[in-house]
Amino acid sequence: MARSKTFGEGRIVRGVVNSADASLGIAFTMYDHLGAVETLAATEYVRIESFQVVAAAAGRQSITNGGADTAANQLRAGTFLASSGMAGNQLALYSARGSVPKIFAPVGQVDANFEGRIVY
């Protein structure tokens, strides 16, 4: 399948995680504007422009640049009550080059999504 065209601002993508356990980190699955799964080349990265995270369990949630859940890799993080989470828009959060962003959350259902672009 051919990749979507790349314009100056990059390819539009939507990232999704729906999991019962993101305690060890789960990479977002990314989809293009037609719903096809997108992958990253080694020279590309993801720019997150908006996101939402909701977790069933209380505790710490974080979105990382694709790496481990450390302060150096965190794009956004916080501690939240059960059945709540975090959101943001009009952002420019960047993954590491060639890495898909990850979500970390307590054991229990977590639903997360982002909208952004693949850029190089």
**Residue 46 · residue 117 · CB < 8 Å:** yes
Q: What's the pLDDT tens digit per position in 71-115? A: 999 999 999 999 999 999 988 999 999 999 999 999 999 999 999
Q: Which of 29, 7, 34 is nearest to 19 (CA)?
A: 29
Angstrom distance (rounded) from CA 17 to CA 113: 6
Give residue limits of the domains in the chain. Answer: 11-113
Report residue 12 as tokens. Answer: 């539009």
Quote the pTM value: 0.89
**Residue 62 · residue 103 · CB < 8 Å:** yes
